[in-house]
Amino acid sequence: MSEGDRLHVVTADNISPARRMAGHLMIWGSLGVLALVALAQAAQTWGGSDFGFRNWRPTLYAYLLFSVCLCWAQVMLKGETGKRILFVLPAALFVVSLTVFPLLFGVLIALSDWNLSAPDGRKFNGMANIVQMWNDPFYWNALENMVWYCLAILPEYVLAFGLALMLNADIRARKFFRVAFLLPLMLSPVAVSWMIGKSMLVIQPAGPVIRLAKWLGYPNPSFFSDPLTAKITIMLMDAWTFVPFMMIMILAGLQAIPKELQEAARVDGATGWRAFWEVTFPLMLPVSITALLIRLIFKLKLADVIINVTSGGPGGATDSVTSFIFREYRDRSNVGYGTLLAMVYLVIIVLVMTVLMKFADKALRPRT
Amino acid sequence: MTTSAQLFRDGDTDLAFKARWWTSRVLLYGALILWAFVCLFPIYWTITTSFKAAKDVTQGTMVPWLDFQPKWLGWKSLGLSPETITQVSTVRDEFLRRFFNSAVISVSSSILAVALGSLAAYGLSRFSYRFLWMKNSDISFFFLSQLILPPVVLALPFLVLYKELDLLDNRIGLIALYTLSVLPIVIWIMRDQFEGIPTELEEAAMVDGLSIWGAFLTIILPIALPGMVAALILSLVLTWNEYFFAALLTSTYANTLPVMVASQTGSQGISWWSMAALSFAAILPLIVIGVALERYIIKGMASGAVK
């Protein structure tokens, strides 16, 4: 246990048998309470006996009690080592109980026919949802849209790099520009989608962007009626919010490059474009890959803007997977099918991210 | 008499260089100002729209006092204009309740996430754990991998689960979920922070008789405080703006501000002035935070990027 610790702690733990006993008693006792409460509730729900529970809260409380006892018992049982475990255990318990359990539960839901507005509850229906998904053109369409949305990250990255270079240049009022460039990231996507997506882009004679487009010579600009323009507009709005994110990461990377390197390059005769392309850009590769991966993770969650501005229209042209599943639930209360779609999405994401991270790892490894 | 030739003057190469320098300056500042305009105009548009009347909205006037007379219409509909601020207003109560919900939920989930995340990050940066087959790097990866979990995967199981637990439309339910969603980011930032602090500090403290938790709380936490502030602010931004879970899991009681903004469509279309006022009220806290604490936000986002 202690091998490889960065911080060595010499401890002389003297744990008496009574203390050990108490520790074990806490764990098993609280686990027993949890099992008892859960059984009683299960009996009421499915067995017909009545203990007067109105919801599953008592089981939740018993689970909380068990978690606290488990943490405490670590110290009782293992002394100093237990105190170290106590640093990580609460967070680990929290994450496990809030993701692993719902995910397992989600698999169960995904394989059943369950419409929350229908009276007859959950029915196991095996592969039927998968067959339905396979034949659902709108889901495939949403997945295809996600590919386009993700490809839009590359131009965003170029823009972010350009902005970061400008901020890193020798300019006045740097702080003003930095704050101004950062602000879009702070704004609520819902407010953005109403005030930009609707107010500036949709109100026919008055929207500023509409008028700008007219002034530029488009006779009848409308941004959300044609599938391609609608998709591009959504991409632009999303980019507007998230370009600052990549910009800040790249800026931090630029500032971490030692000045000597660029000076050395200049002495060697590299100027302007070549200095950037052959010195700065390669040095920025690790930061760039991190920024791109994180941006991709956020992009895969894209939904708020779409739900609020187009709700997937016209004809599903702007739908992302998340907004599609959101409507699947909101309009049809179809929990079972929606969960299956989400699970499939998760599997695809995990596969893609694993492959990408492998490539990133390879690209980052120092070449010999 | 010949005109006296200027003795010292720039050579042709110097002049060319100067011209190039000036064009590059003009281009640079032009690009900067253009993008700053792109970033700031929507905010300006939101503020001005909240002071417009119906006529001004349909005409799309831009500059207050020149183009249109600013009126308190939008703010009056929220009950926040000078005349209505003293009167009883149900809309204002509604707005304040949503605002309060948003504040409570985002602040408490951010604090919870920073507390849990800092502890875990400290443990992972100092000790080597072994749990079943998982070593430190695996545990770290387990925490960080939560980041790629899209919210939509958890949303429907949580909907059903919360229904059974009577946590739907409940602040506690949202706080737990939001904490979960920002925890990986906090752990990422904080691990970076703690790894930069030398272990000799704790060793010295423990030689002086402090326990490991004592050393952590009295020595390490104060040093790592700027990083914690950065993580806290980043979490605040993410949780304040969160819409997806809030829209799914709340209905009347625990609604947050983004949900209220999104549900402003009335039967006679949208009254843009009140929508703008509401949107502005929703983004104002973060604009203030952004302007005042920009340093910390940048620090937080940069810490993961630069090793």
Q: Residue A254 is part of a domain; what is its CATH number? A: 1.10.3720.10
The answer as to whether B158 is a domain residue is yes
Are B36 and B106 in a shared domain? no
Reported as type and span, the H/E element at residue A259 is helix A259-267
Q: Which of B23, B39, B62 to mutate to test the interface with A (most CBs of A within 10 A)?
A: B39
Out of B159, B165, B306, closest to residue A335 by CB: B159
Tell me which chain B residues have a C-beta less than 8 angstroms from the C-beta of A184: 39, 42
Structure tokens at A158: 């170029």
The answer as to whether A121 is a domain residue is no
The answer as to whether B301 is a domain residue is yes
Nearest to A143 by CA among A310, A306, A337, A341: A341
Q: Provide the 3-class DSSP secondary structure of residue A352.
A: helix
What's the pLDDT at B31?
Answer: 93
Q: Which of B34, B55, B77 is the endpoint of a domain?
A: B77
Total domains in chain B come to: 2
What's the pLDDT at B175?
Answer: 93
Are B56 and B151 in a shared domain? no
Are A56 and A166 in a shared domain? no
Are B199 and B256 in a shared domain? yes
**Cross-chain residue pair B124–A290, CB shorter than 8 Å:** no
Q: Which of B34, B56, B77 is the endpoint of a domain?
A: B77
Q: Does A360 touch chain B (CB under 8 A)?
A: no
The answer as to whether A358 is a domain residue is yes
Task: List all residues of chain B from 65 to 94 with a beta carbon under 8 Å from chain A.
Answer: none
The answer as to whether B85 is a domain residue is no
Reported as type and span, the H/E element at residue B280 is helix B272-292
Q: Which residue has the higher pLDDT, B112 or B206?
A: B112
Q: Residue B211 is part of a domain; what is its CATH number? A: 1.10.3720.10
Which residues form the domain of A314? 137-364
How would residue B203 be classed by pLDDT, with cut points 50, 70 and 90? confident
The answer as to whether B133 is a domain residue is yes
The answer as to whether B256 is a domain residue is yes
Which residues form the domain of B24? 12-77
Partnered with residue B131 across adjacent β-strands are B134
The answer as to whether A25 is a domain residue is yes
The answer as to whether A130 is a domain residue is no
Q: Which of A88, A174, A204 to mutate to test the interface with B (most CBs of B within 10 A)?
A: A88
Q: Does B62 touch chain A (CB under 8 A)?
A: yes
Say whether pLDDT at B270 is over 90: no
Distances B125 to A78, A88, B118, B139, B198 between C-alpha atoms, Å: 20, 11, 10, 11, 11
The answer as to whether B83 is a domain residue is no
Say whether pLDDT at A232 is over 50: yes
The answer as to whether A199 is a domain residue is yes
Q: Which amino acid is at A113?
A: D
Are B58 and B161 in a shared domain? no
Tell me which chain A residues have a C-beta less than 8 angstroms from the C-beta of B259: 190
Are B56 and B110 in a shared domain? no
Are B56 and B181 in a shared domain? no
pLDDT in tens, B205-230: 888 888 888 888 888 888 888 889 88
Q: Which of B77, B112, B133 is the endpoint of a domain?
A: B77
pTM over 0.90, yes/no: no
The answer as to whether A217 is a domain residue is yes
How would residue B305 be classed by pLDDT, with cut points 50, 70 and 90? low
Mean pLDDT along residues A316-326: 88
Are A102 and A178 in a shared domain? no
Are B169 and B290 in a shared domain? yes
pLDDT in tens, A90-112: 999 999 888 888 888 888 888 88
Q: Does A41 touch chain B (CB under 8 A)?
A: no
Task: List all residues of chain B from 2 to 31 with a beta carbon under 8 Å from chain A.
Answer: 28-29, 31
The answer as to whether B32 is a domain residue is yes
Are A100 and A150 in a shared domain? no
The answer as to whether B249 is a domain residue is yes
Total domains in chain A come to: 2
- Nearest 5°: phi and psi at A10? -90, 125
Q: Does B297 touch chain A (CB under 8 A)?
A: yes
Residue environment code for A98-134, b if the CB has 16+ CB neighbours within 10 A, otherwise e: bbeebeebbeebbbbbbbbeeeeebeeeeebbeebbe
**Cross-chain residue pair A335–B156, CB shorter than 8 Å:** yes
Are B53 and B194 in a shared domain? no
The answer as to whether A125 is a domain residue is no
Q: Which amino acid is at B191?
A: R
Mean pLDDT along residues A233-258: 89
What's the pLDDT at A367?
Answer: 61
Residue B186 neighbours by CB distance under 10 Å: 30
Are B209 and B96 in a shared domain? yes
pLDDT in tens, A38-61: 888 888 877 777 777 777 888 888
Q: What is the DSSP string of A165-224?
A: HHHHSS-SSHHHHHHHHHHHHHS-HHHHIIIIIIIITTSTTT-HHHHHHHHTT-SS--SS
**Cross-chain residue pair A91–B126, CB shorter than 8 Å:** no
Residue B14 neighbours by CB distance under 10 Å: 10
